Amino acid sequence: MSRIQSIQSADSAALAAFGTIIDVRSPGEFALDHVPGAINLPVLTDAERAEVGTIYVQESRLKANRIGAAYVARNIAGYLVNELADQPQTFAPLVYCWRGGSRSESMATILSRVGWRTSLLVGGYRTYRRHVQARLYDETWPLNLVLLDGDTGTGKTEILHLLAARGLQTLDLEGMAGHRGSLFGGLADRPQPNQKGFESTLLRAMEALDPARPVVVEAESSRIGDLMVPPALWARMQVAPRIEVAAPREERARYLVRAYSDIVADHAAIEAALRRLPVHPSQTRLEGWRGLLAAGDYAALAEALMALHYDPAYRRGRRKDGREPMAEIALETLDGPDLDRAADEIVRLVRALPLPSQT
């Protein structure tokens, strides 16, 4: 019988040693959060796990263990003849469950019996989660951040993607959070991840950055939709220099209608967002907005919302910050050529900036 190796650490270097990481928790547990890159081969389905837990509480431990063991044996057997059937002799997976207990031990024991060099993460997912929390909440990151700032509708997210295509290091927080960072920011095609899943994705992206090179990140509040930006990153964002992009309000309104096409088509979602405005509009103003919505005059509605809510909120945030931007880029339009020009100018500014490592 091959010896099962115990892995004590869940840091990126330790995990990178494994070509395959197997999460044997139930699909529901896996969906909430998991080690990045892990595959899910659950030894108990969600229904089986619930059934075994109920039997354990309401009937007996022995019966729960017997039924659970039968499910585990059957499920692992299925993986051996299906998902794992073509693995070579050199296959060397890392296996984990919730806390490194019987579920992962069962899988690791059988894989080891087959002859594969199998490792077990001591403490399971909880070991990994403690690592994520320590890195994002307790440590100081020497990141040379530059904030991409500007009023709502100035194309910041699109510009960020253009910067990445030009070779700058970027962090797309809105992409990782599944949210566009406003009352209308939810994405129709996918819900936001939970906080743990967001932090796993964020940590993986941060650990891949070169601290000696600048990193451009879109200026955000401390919350993106329902998710919180962890302290390790937020502290850096608070002191980072800013590049501000500006465009005429009517041009920004036109851009928003195009960028938020999924929301524009959902009048009920727009109505719900209007009711969540921090500055509650008068009934007369709300009726006027509903008229614009009914008439399909989305650009006029966007301009009205920027005038009442978004632009004043950005101005308040900048006054509170108190620092002047390192550069301002004024755009006449937010069409492709102007966005490309903005990206080129930002690349020049960032690469010329002598950013010392922050400690």
Amino acid at 119: S
Q: Is 54 in a helix, a strand, or coil?
A: helix
Q: What is the DSSP letter of 327?
A: E
Contact 27, 42 (CB under 8 A): yes
CA geometry: angle at 195 spanning 36 and 238, to 5°?
100
Catalytic site positions:
97
Q: Side-chain half-sphere of 136: how many Cα atoms within 13 Å?
A: 23
The tokens for 161 are 């993607």
Token pair in block for residue 292: 């614009």
Angle at the Cα of 153 from the Cα atoms of 151 and 157, rounded to 5 degrees: 95
For residue 51, what are the β-bridge partners? none
Residue 252 exposed, middle or buried by CB count within 10 Å (0-12, 13-18, 19+): buried
